[in-house]
Amino acid sequence: MLGLMQDQPLLISSLLTHAERYHPRSEIVSVTCEGETVRSSWGQLARRARQAAQALLAMGVKPGDRVATLAWNTHRHLELYYAAAGIGAVLHTVNPRLFPEQIEYILNHGGAEVLLFDLPFLGLVDGLAGKIPNIRHQVVLTDAAHLPEGRDTLASYETLIAAEDGTLVWPRFDERSASGLCYTSGTTGNPKGVLYSHRSTVLHAFLCCQVDGLHLSRDDSTLLAVPLFHVNAWGIPYASAMCGAKLVLPGPKLDGESLFSLAVAEECTFSLGVPTVWLGLFKYLDEAGIDVQRLPFQRVLIGGSAAPRALLQRFHDAGVHAFQAWGMSETSPVATVAALLPHHRDLPKSDQIDVLARQGRAMFGVELKIVAEDGSELPQDGSVSGELMVRGPWVTSGYYGGVGGQVVDADGWFATGDVAKIDSEGFVTLTDRSKDVIKSGGEWISSIELENAALGHPAVEAAAVVGVTHERWQERPLMLVIRKPGSAAEPQEILDFLADKVARWWLPDALVFVDTLPLTATGKLDKKVLRAAWKDHLVGA
Amino acid sequence: MLGLMQDQPLLISSLLTHAERYHPRSEIVSVTCEGETVRSSWGQLARRARQAAQALLAMGVKPGDRVATLAWNTHRHLELYYAAAGIGAVLHTVNPRLFPEQIEYILNHGGAEVLLFDLPFLGLVDGLAGKIPNIRHQVVLTDAAHLPEGRDTLASYETLIAAEDGTLVWPRFDERSASGLCYTSGTTGNPKGVLYSHRSTVLHAFLCCQVDGLHLSRDDSTLLAVPLFHVNAWGIPYASAMCGAKLVLPGPKLDGESLFSLAVAEECTFSLGVPTVWLGLFKYLDEAGIDVQRLPFQRVLIGGSAAPRALLQRFHDAGVHAFQAWGMSETSPVATVAALLPHHRDLPKSDQIDVLARQGRAMFGVELKIVAEDGSELPQDGSVSGELMVRGPWVTSGYYGGVGGQVVDADGWFATGDVAKIDSEGFVTLTDRSKDVIKSGGEWISSIELENAALGHPAVEAAAVVGVTHERWQERPLMLVIRKPGSAAEPQEILDFLADKVARWWLPDALVFVDTLPLTATGKLDKKVLRAAWKDHLVGA
Ligand SMILES: Nc1ncnc2c1ncn2[C@@H]1O[C@H](COP(=O)(O)OP(=O)(O)OP(=O)(O)O)[C@@H](O)[C@H]1O
Ligand SMILES: Nc1ncnc2c1ncn2[C@@H]1O[C@H](COP(=O)(O)OP(=O)(O)OP(=O)(O)O)[C@@H](O)[C@H]1O
Ligand SMILES: [Mg+2]
Ligand SMILES: [Mg+2]
């Protein structure tokens, strides 16, 4: 017997309609690629999103069509989030930091006919001329004044939407309809597209607004230091409309100085981003001699890769509640959130940070388990590690176009490719990505734990550990370290420092100082590149 | 094109499974009808709920079957919330405060074959012997020791569940399946059944856990002063599992002394209930000479009928953030929540309380409008009032068994029977229920505003205003007042007090002191009874 409650779909357009009605004056502050700071509000954004939707319709965009973007965090990009999804189209955000060949692959695979991009990406798009044949419309996210001369095929976004009256009424449709498409960066094989739905997006927004979730509320001013092209900017664009939070969009500038001054100017209470961004912020504060107490944040969410303990410590020393969440493109992304439990309240601060340095516990709606290589379920006892499996209404069931085939098992579990322990309280500790795991004589060594330990040494600015070929143990850990400017520490000193922090047989066989470490397009250590470069270090080329 | 996210249903059993895994030691404290205080936890509750589910299955309960309860707030009743819904049956909570004829009607209309009830209701159930022919199983929510002798047809709940091993695995099914049934008290005509679904229930739980919703979190210890038989106890049984909050169930005792001592003993941070309950609490504190600062609550939600401003003020004076929400059985119930907006922060406390004394603003998911008698939409300008219409995924689309016919219009709007103004910011102010509105010479007078104003007078303990027959104006307001013990105020003094608080022509034509005011089974003023008793007061019988 079915219940008799209304069959109202969970639609992304409802989030915007809600924000327009109940939070019209809540601000949207946007730094554009032209360098202007544009101040608007959810009320204005809602109207402009309708105009943008009308402009998309005028270009012939139909329900289910993909609409591609190559753009930074600005109000225009945010408008497109709502405009495209609102008319039943699919916003396909493409990461402009990828290599042109990857962008070409992703655009062609996604199949959008409309591409909207920021002016700085004009060269990139021009370079793809002739290689992205689906694209019928190229729109630059700028106004007529900034549009380059003599480029008839380029339209200006501001000109297009100015021609529309904003009277569109958002259509209603099945909440399972596709709303967004985002390709994983492809550190393994070709990038694969995750196709979100209205339902998954709205449910995920509820998670963000939960007290014990991301705690997003009307009182927040959020500095969005995670790009809109990276997994829905972790759901914040949607959740902010749900609760009417102020949103601060930093545009192309994610350097420490830009983020700090924007955060101060806009009195940001909350921010979120990958560890690299925060390391950059503290580097700037240190170099500029700025007191970290001036950081206005109350909360900072660190995700995308393991939050170094030392980073969490720095935030907490500055009075900022930094915490970690785990997720992936395939999980919308938030799946776990680290939070103190009541019995942690009386612990010394440093032990509390240990808790927050773990990847957290599953939020309601997300089910987790770990399995052995043969697929059998492993105990969640905090010591055994295995591949993390995830299930839930905002977890993918397959990739766009069927790429990768069947990716969930018969019971609906998705294999994350992450290796983790789960303790009796449900805290997940990610030890590695399965492709990065170091297999020494058949036993696993966690590169994340080694890196985390090294980052506790005052001379270490960044550290990466990869498995390299070893004659006796097949693979052994090699640690690559960027030293802090001015430090004269020797490799052995850092290895000695690690000695009482990890198992003896985990200690890297070598530690090499490097000037830079390669990052992926989402700001993570690119271990594929490192492994290729260093694989023969212990055996000789 | 559909998205590719997992098709995982939103099920009530998932809430419990989540709580069992992630919050097993979070407490459930229950005062039983036998007077014991039983301390358990979400972990224990989950196991017992599975045992209870097995017991229901053993009695032949099948998906879609109704399972009826006549019970107070205890862990056993809470277990049944999950046990019944978990196996796809429908928990039919019946309000034991109703008249026996109404209970008979509701049980027969609901059609349950199993009735579970607290021991104090044995007399009530015995009185219905022969009149509730569907009921095949009568289970007393107690243990064997408390079961009356020689009653072969009665089973003890504890005995039944002790026979089960708790190994049941919750089945998966369509999230739109019916999960609960609750009849409105029927102040107009026969009671009507609202049939909730798993989907509506889980979505509503998300609302409760939102920062700007009811702000329920893992850190809360909630004193549930709203009965489990009253609209899902406002969603708290589900939301508490979602976030793992501690739950304190006061059993049959909702008097001021019992609530206060329980709140103090269990360090309750949050509570919720109808105004009558809170008036009782303060009456007790005053009479016992207890300092209101000893109330441990951080937040108190007042709903079910208009929260008197004076009551909110008392809570705030005691350092408790009391606030109001509006809803009804037909809306699961929470639809609006009153919260301060950023621009209210700098207002004097008293003005802030004015904000919180309104019924609040729609939460995401809930759409509201007001309409004129001809159904045309009215402006939301804070001055025009009309019938409140509501729409959303946790709003009913019709009553159980089709009673009342088509209750939503072609666009899906449900007519609430409440009369309200909505201001430009979206704040709803309920002026009356349409059946209680006083029509004086064709103009409407708000009984709620008059009552609220009267409650500001120090001599007024309770006040009710009803429209009574008037020769010239068809209807005029009559105010009935219970004076505070020891007060010697005269009627005219109170009328004078009102003079500058409401429009001149709203002033009641008469004010009569009474010893008691009749309440409905949900603790609201019973104006149907009052109108019948007083209708000829101004014209003479
Ligand atoms: N808090 C965290 N701690 C450790 N690792 C994390 C955390 N959050 C995310 N990750 C890592 O990031 C991954 C998800 O990243 P995402 O899907 O956005 O792109 P990617 O996995 O880096 O790209 P690709 O799948 O193409 O390699 C997770 O599978 C996990 O390995
Ligand atoms: N915060 C509030 N302020 C004023 N009135 C409220 C508030 N919350 C609820 N109400 C009143 O309570 C009603 C909902 O109550 P509910 O559906 O639980 O039973 P009932 O309406 O009293 O019973 P019946 O429909 O049989 O008369 C609303 O329609 C409204 O009139
Ligand atoms: Mg990945
Ligand atoms: Mg009602």
Tally Cβ neighbours within 10 Å of residue A18.
23
Contacts of B302 by beta carbon, 8 Å cutoff, 6+ apart: B272, B273, B274, B275, B278, B311, B312, B322, B323, B324, B325
Which of B2, B218, B244 is opposite residue A177, by nearest beta carbon? B2
Cβ–Cβ < 8 Å for A324, A359: yes
Contacts of B377 by beta carbon, 8 Å cutoff, 6+ apart: B369, B370, B371
> For residue B443, is it within any domain?
yes
Assess whether the C-beta atom of B416 lies below 6 angstroms from ligand 2.
yes
Contacts of B268 by beta carbon, 8 Å cutoff, 6+ apart: B221, B222, B223, B248, B262, B296, B297
Give the nearest ligand 1 atom to A336 CA. Answer: 1
* Alpha carbon distance B331, B401 (integer Å): 18
Return the residue matching tokens 């309960």: B61
Given B439, B490, B493, B505, the catalytic residue? B439
Q: A177, A203, A229: which is the final residue of a domain?
A: A203
* Alpha carbon distance B195, B181 (integer Å): 5
Q: Does B194 touch chain A (CB under 8 A)?
A: yes
Going by alpha carbons, the residue nearest to atom 26 of ligand 1 is: A186
Cβ–Cβ < 8 Å for B414, B391: yes
* Alpha carbon distance B194, B191 (integer Å): 10
Look up A184 and say whether it is catalytic.
Answer: yes
Cβ–Cβ < 8 Å for A464, A433: no
Q: Do B426 and A215 touch (CB under 8 A)?
A: no
Look up A534 and say whether it is catalytic.
Answer: no
- Supply φ then ψ for residue A29, to 5 degrees: -110, 130
Tokens in use for B185? 């008290």
Cβ–Cβ < 8 Å for B202, B113: no
Give the nearest ligand 2 atom to B522 CA. Answer: 22
* CATH number, residue A479: 3.30.300.30
Going by alpha carbons, the residue nearest to atom 29 of ligand 1 is: A328
Chain B nearest CA to A286, separation (Å): 34
Testing ligand 2's pocket by substitution, the residue of B106, B305, B531 carrying the most ligand atoms inside 8 A of its CB is: B305
Assess whether the C-beta atom of B304 lies below 6 angstroms from ligand 2.
yes
Look up A269 and say whether it is catalytic.
Answer: no
Q: Does A209 touch chain B (CB under 8 A)?
A: yes
Hey, what amino acid is at B26?
Answer: S
> For residue A194, is it within any domain?
yes
Q: Give the CA distances from residue B489 to residues A298, A354, B482, B511, in Å, rounded to whole numbers and listed in that order.
A: 52, 64, 11, 12
> For residue A155, is it within any domain?
yes
- Partners of A270 in beta bridges: A222, A299
Q: What is the pLDDT along chain B (541 residues), one digit of tens a residue?
A: 999 999 999 999 999 999 999 999 999 999 999 999 999 999 999 999 999 999 999 999 999 999 999 999 999 999 999 999 999 999 999 999 999 999 999 999 999 999 999 999 999 999 999 999 999 999 999 999 999 999 989 999 999 999 999 999 999 999 999 999 999 976 667 899 999 999 999 999 999 999 999 999 999 999 999 999 999 999 999 999 999 999 999 999 999 999 999 999 999 999 999 999 999 999 999 999 999 999 999 999 999 999 999 999 999 999 999 999 999 999 999 999 999 999 999 999 999 999 999 999 999 999 999 999 999 999 999 999 999 999 999 999 999 999 989 999 999 999 999 999 999 999 999 999 999 999 999 888 999 999 999 999 999 999 999 999 999 999 999 999 999 989 999 999 999 999 999 999 999 999 999 999 999 888 899 999 999 999 999 997 5
- Exposed e or buried b per residue across B220-249, where buried means at least 16 C-beta atoms within 10 angstroms of its C-beta: bbbbbbbbbbbbbbbbbbbbbbbbbbbbbb
Q: A203, A234, A256: which is the final residue of a domain?
A: A203
- Report the run of H or E that residue A468 belongs to, with start and end: strand A460-470
Q: Where are the alpha helices (DSSP H) in B298-378?
A: 309-317, 349-356
Q: Do A412 and B198 touch (CB under 8 A)?
A: no
Tokens in use for A227? 């790009």
Cβ–Cβ < 8 Å for A251, A280: no
Q: How many domains are there within chain B?
A: 1
> For residue B457, is it within any domain?
yes
- Exposed e or buried b per residue across B96-111, where buried means at least 16 C-beta atoms within 10 angstroms of its C-beta: bbbeeebbebbbebbb
> For residue B222, is it within any domain?
no
Assess whether the C-beta atom of A522 lies below 6 angstroms from ligand 1.
yes
- Partners of A360 in beta bridges: A428
ipTM over 0.90: yes
Q: Does A414 touch chain B (CB under 8 A)?
A: yes
* Alpha carbon distance A161, A143 (integer Å): 10
* Alpha carbon distance A305, A276 (integer Å): 9
> For residue B534, is it within any domain?
yes
Q: Does A183 touch chain B (CB under 8 A)?
A: no
At A162 the three-state DSSP class reads helix
Window A:93-152, CB contacts with B under 8 Å? none
Look up B184 and say whether it is catalytic.
Answer: yes
* CATH number, residue A89: 3.40.50.12780
Tokens in use for B381? 């300008």
Q: Give the CA distances from residue A515 to residues A217, A461, A512, in Å, rounded to whole numbers and listed in that order.
A: 41, 10, 10
Q: Which residues surround ligand 3, an ion (CB under 5 A)?
A: A 184, 328
> For residue B492, is it within any domain?
yes
Of B81, B93, B90, nearest to B30 (Cα)?
B81
Give the nearest ligand 1 atom to A231 CA. Answer: 18
> For residue B101, is it within any domain?
no
Residue B512: which domain range?
436-541
Tally Cβ neighbours within 10 Å of residue A352.
17
Residues of A in contact with B400 (CB under 8 A): 4
